[in-house]
Copies of this chain bind each other. A is one copy, B any other.
Amino acid sequence: MSRAHLLAVARGDAEPDLVVTGARVFSVFTREWLEGDVAVAGGRIAGVGSYTGGERIDAAGRHLVPGLIDAHVHIESSKLLPSEFARVVVARGTTTVVCDPHELANVLGAAGAHWLLDASSGLPLRVYVMAPSCVPASALESPRGPLGTEDMASILRRGRALGVAEVMDFPSVIAGDPDVLAKVALHPHVDGHAPGVTGRELDAYAAAGIRSDHEATTWEEALEKRRRGLWVLLREASNARNLLDLLELVRRFGPEHCAFCTDDREPDMLVREGHIDSMCRAAVAAGIAPENVLLMATLHPARCHRLADLGAIAPGFRADLVVLEDLESFRAETVIAGGAVAARDGAALAFDAPAVPAWVRDSIRLAPLGDDALDLGPAAGRVRVIELQAEQLITGAGEAEPAVAGGRVVADPERDLAKLAVVERHHATGRVGVGLVHGFGLRRGAFASTVAHDAHNLVVAGVDDASMRACVERLAELGGGIAVADAGAVRGALALPVAGLLSEAPAEEVVAAMDELTALLREQGVTGSAPFMTLSFLALSVIPELKLTDHGLVDVAAARVVPLAL
What residues of chain A have their CB less than 8 Å away from a CB belonging to chain B?
Answer: 3-4, 6-8, 10-12, 27, 29-32, 34, 44-49, 173-176, 178, 181, 185, 188-189, 199-211, 223, 226-229, 253, 256-257, 303, 306, 308, 312, 314-317
Q: How many chain copies?
A: 2
Question: Does the CB pair B314–A46 fall under 8 Å?
Answer: no
Question: Does the CB pair B29–A227 fall under 8 Å?
Answer: yes
Contacts A7-B207, A10-B206, A47-B228 aside, 13 further interface pairs with beta carbons under 8 A come to: A3-B209, A7-B173, A8-B176, A29-B226, A30-B226, A32-B227, A48-B227, A49-B199, A206-B314, A206-B315, A210-B316, A228-B314, A229-B312
CA distance A11 to B31 in the complex (A): 40
CA distance A45 to B227 in the complex (A): 13
A203-B49, A314-B228, A315-B203 known; A256 vs B7 contact (CB < 8 Å): no
CA distance A211 to B223 in the complex (A): 30
Question: Does the CB pair A204–B10 fall under 8 Å?
Answer: yes
Question: Does the CB pair B4–A203 fall under 8 Å?
Answer: no
Question: Does the CB pair B308–A206 fall under 8 Å?
Answer: no
- 20 cross-chain CB contacts under 8 A: A3-B209, A4-B178, A4-B181, A7-B204, A7-B208, A11-B174, A11-B201, A11-B203, A11-B204, A47-B207, A49-B203, A203-B315, A205-B315, A206-B315, A207-B315, A207-B316, A210-B316, A228-B315, A229-B317, A256-B256
CA distance A308 to B203 in the complex (A): 17
> Which residues of B lie under 8 Å from residue A206 when comparing CB positions?
10, 314-316
CA distance A306 to B189 in the complex (A): 12
CA distance A11 to B171 in the complex (A): 12
- Identity of the chain B residue whose Cβ is nearest the Cβ of A47 in the assembled complex: B203
CA distance A175 to B175 in the complex (A): 56
> Which residues of B lie under 8 Å from residue A178 when comparing CB positions?
4
> Which residues of B lie under 8 Å from residue A29 when comparing CB positions?
226-229, 256-257
CA distance A209 to B44 in the complex (A): 11
CB distance from A315 to the nearest CB of B (A): 4
CB distance from A170 to the nearest CB of B (A): 12
> Which residues of B lie under 8 Å from residue A226 when comparing CB positions?
29-30
- Identity of the chain B residue whose Cβ is nearest the Cβ of A206 in the assembled complex: B315
A11-B174, A29-B256, A46-B203 known; A208 vs B3 contact (CB < 8 Å): yes
> Which residues of B lie under 8 Å from residue A314 when comparing CB positions?
206, 227-229
> Which residues of B lie under 8 Å from residue A227 when comparing CB positions?
27, 29-30, 32, 34, 48, 314
- Identity of the chain B residue whose Cβ is nearest the Cβ of A316 in the assembled complex: B207
CB distance from A183 to the nearest CB of B (A): 12
Closest 4 CB pairs of A and B: A47-B203, A229-B314, A207-B315, A206-B315
Interface centre among A8, A206, A308 (most CB of B within 10 A): A206
Question: Which of B3, B30, B47, B209 lies in contact with A185, CB distance below 8 A?
Answer: B3
- Identity of the chain B residue whose Cβ is nearest the Cβ of A27 in the assembled complex: B227
Interface centre among A202, A223, A316 (most CB of B within 10 A): A316
CB distance from A258 to the nearest CB of B (A): 10
CB distance from A203 to the nearest CB of B (A): 3
Question: Does the CB pair B3–A308 fall under 8 Å?
Answer: no
> Which residues of B lie under 8 Å from residue A181 when comparing CB positions?
3-4
